[in-house]
Amino acid sequence: MSQRTPLGKVRGLGSAKGGTDHFWMQRVTAVANIVLVCFLIGLVFTLAGADHGTVKRALARPEIAIPLLLLVLSGIVHMRLGMQTIIEDYVHSEGRKVAALVLNWFFTILIGTTCAFAVLKLTFGA
């Protein structure tokens, strides 16, 4: 049995180069979300209780649809990364962990596609 530690095995081989990607994307989307979430709060505040026609017309306007699409994009990246951290912290069995990470991808992409589809449908009509 080898006495070498995992660190000893990789020492001197150089970094994997992708190590800071998770951290960096979490921060970039966090900064974007500060602006975009404030926009969402303002939008929901304005449209709360409004009838369907008003909401439909509002969501179809480019100055609303574009930030909404940006929020969906930034939001799903941020939440996928955050949930990945939680899964890796708490799910220790390898099989369940991989399954959870795959479901994390599926869920965030599903939410993102649904929201984007709705906004685009309202914008382009039909």
Partner 1 sequence: MAETKRAVERPLSPHLGIYRPQINMVMSIVHRICGSALYVGTILLAAWLIAAAMGERAFAMVSEIFGHPLGKLVLLGYSWALIHHMLGGMRHLLWDTGRGLQPRTADALSWLTIIGSLALTAALWAAGISLRGGL
Of the pair 45, 106, the CB lying nearest partner 1 is at 45
Concatenated DSSP letters of 78-126: HHHHHHHHHHHHH--SHHHHHHHHHHHHHHHHHHHHHHHHHHHHHHH--
CA-to-CA distance for 21 and 101, rounded, in angstroms? Answer: 17
Kindly state the smallest distance separating residue 116's Cβ from partner 1, in Å. Answer: 9
Q: Which residues bind partner 1 (CB under 8 A)?
A: 27, 30-31, 33-34, 37, 40-41, 45, 48-49, 52, 55-56, 59, 68, 75-76, 79, 82-83, 86, 111, 114-115, 117-119, 121-122
Of the pair 96, 121, the CB lying nearest partner 1 is at 121
